[in-house]
Structure 1
Amino acid sequence: MKIKCANFEAVVISRPSFDDIAFINFLESQGFDWIRSGGGEAEEIVEVSGRVCYLSFGKNKQSPRDNKSYIANLISQGHESVLEHVNWTIMLSGVSRGFTHQLVRHRVGFAYSQLSQQYHDESEAHFVVPPSIKKNKELFIEWADDIYRSLSTYRKIVKTVEKSELSDKESMRELRTAARSALPNATETKIVITANARALRHFFDVRGCLEGDWEMRQVACKLFDLVSCDAPSLFYDFKKIEMQDGSFKLLKT
């Protein structure tokens, strides 16, 4: 009896891009100039979006704060709407269906495209093993046996259910819809997510600290690593803390 265990992976496939030349040309046409003070593309988008609200450009109108301090002040004042102008698209693989059922509850500022079990054959599915089960040899054997039986039932349904009078496409949809009912929450899936910086901050705050939800923490910490590399100033008040078991959680400082 063997099952295939999934490996977690997260890859950024789209990140914020700032056409600074176009923006500076626009400012000049309006009679303004912008004193730049550093920051990545995402961070400069946030800064100029905030400055547009007051047209605070130029030496007579800009505050002495640099980009990093300007953003920190916005966040400390709760003025995070300008963070919605920057977003990342990330491909997640090796996550469980149980996890994505929770993830997609985050609606504001998020978009999702997930692998469909109605169109994708799961006969060779991989599965996500919870660490608490993986480290217990006897429990893992029992867990894996249950997973294997579920997968065997899926394969049997796919092979034995009679073809309906529907079209080939809808018949296949009906067949796999019936078969997927046998699969457990541990079934591996792939999902593309797009989220803006404000939505990610909320996600990190409410999900990254859940000590009892290892997979949610794993994903939150990985997303934090990816986006904070691009825009550390937008997530400056979050830190990764190592737990006793060697995993990590996020804390807002």
Structure 2
Amino acid sequence: MIEITAIQIECLSKPNFQLDAFIRFLKANGQDWIKEGTLTEGDSLIEAAGRVCYMSFGKDRQSGKTNAEYIMHLIRQGHESVLEHITWTFLLTGVSRAFTHQLVRHRVGFSYSQLSQQYHDESDASFVIPPAIAACPKATKEWKNSIENSLSLYRKLISDVELDKHIGHESKKERLRDLRSACRSILPNATETKIVVTANARAIRHFFKMRGAIEGDWEMRAVACALFKQVQVDAPGVFQDFSISVSKDGSEKLVHESF
């Protein structure tokens, strides 16, 4: 029997703002930052960085905008480079290799560290079933049969090939790597993988716009919505123009308010 898994996302790091250090900078330069309300560290850092560009601090130089209004003004003016100062690191599990093949196309502002099928034995791999297939019992049965056949062949190839006689390398480590690399060729795109993703706010916003409501890709939509639920807590001002909408089939998608 194969194991079916589901998307899980853990936040490993989030925006951090050393306010005391910034206050020392302001005092040394005779500046006074008027902050309205209690802001998250992410939103505070964005505003601080933006104001440094013009040294627009204090009663006479601040326009009276709230933090959310200030950040949205930056976004509307196209000054989104300021958003690159805050980053998150996430650990994604329960996602498919098909998903990560698409995800890693997002390069600017993203960094990745993914489970290697060359070094990791996939004999006990889990798999991700698409909802469109899961909704159909007949299709689910045929899908599972195909997955089980692929996994069985992978295990057979791993055990049948004599490592000591495997062509190519003197190092046992590299021979094993070569063997797993060859055997992984029959594993399906549905094979579950694990990936650590670090991205800044500007890159995440672009990802949400491109993938959050993309038709025909349930996994991208699901991951985008799950990430949004976390980043909006840490920087609500940065992601204030996004919201989650529920589709007719019950799945979630991200809606972006254009201006």
TM-score (normalised: structure 1): 0.98
Where 1:235 maps in the other structure, the secondary structure is: coil
Task: Indicate whether 1:136 and 2:136 are aligned.
Answer: yes
Matches of 2:31 and 2:172 in 1, distance apart? 62
Where 1:232 maps in the other structure, the secondary structure is: coil
Query: Does the aligned pair in 2 maintain the 1:239–1:251 contact within 8 Å?
Result: yes
Measure how far apart 1:60 and its partner are: 1.2
Where 1:241 maps in the other structure, the secondary structure is: strand
Residue-by-residue CA offset, 1:72-106 (whole Å, 9 max, x unaligned):
11112221110000000011000000000000000
Q: Which amino acid aligns with 2:230?
A: L
Query: Does the aligned pair in 2 maintain the 1:157–1:178 contact within 8 Å?
Result: no
Q: Which amino acid aligns with 1:43?
A: D
Partner of 1:51: 51
Where 1:32 maps in the other structure, the secondary structure is: coil
Partner of 2:14: 15
Partner of 1:75: 75
Query: Does the aligned pair in 2 maintain the 1:87–1:197 contact within 8 Å?
Result: yes
Query: Does the aligned pair in 2 maintain the 1:133–1:139 contact within 8 Å?
Result: yes
Query: Does the aligned pair in 2 maintain the 1:211–1:249 contact within 8 Å?
Result: no
Measure how far apart 1:186 and its partner are: 0.1
Query: How much identity, in percent, do the aligned residues show?
Result: 57
Return the match for 2:179 from 175, 195, 210: 175
* Structure 2: gaps of 5 or more residues: none
Measure how far apart 1:32 and its partner are: 1.2
Task: Indicate whether 1:241 and 2:240 are aligned.
Answer: no
Residue correspondence of structure 1 range 1-253 to structure 2 within 5 A: 2-38=1-37, 39-163=39-163, 164=166, 165-253=169-257
Matches of 1:211 and 1:230 in 2, distance apart? 28
Where 1:234 maps in the other structure, the secondary structure is: coil
Task: Output the aligned Cα RMSD.
Answer: 0.9
Runs of 4+ with deviation above 6 angstroms:
none
Matches of 1:138 and 1:126 in 2, distance apart? 21
Q: Which moved more, 1:169-178 or 1:30-39?
A: 30-39
Residue-by-residue CA offset, 1:38-83 (whole Å, 9 max, x unaligned):
3210001100110011000111111111211111111122211100
Measure how far apart 1:211 and its partner are: 2.2
Q: Which amino acid aligns with 1:215?
A: E
Q: Which amino acid aligns with 2:66?
A: D
Matches of 1:109 and 1:85 in 2, distance apart? 11
Q: Which amino acid aligns with 2:179?
A: L
Q: Which amino acid aligns with 1:193?
A: V
TM-score (normalised: structure 2): 0.96
Where 1:65 maps in the other structure, the secondary structure is: coil
Measure how far apart 1:162 and its partner are: 2.2
Matches of 1:82 and 1:199 in 2, distance apart? 12
Matches of 1:61 and 1:241 in 2, distance apart? 39
* Structure 1: gaps of 5 or more residues: none
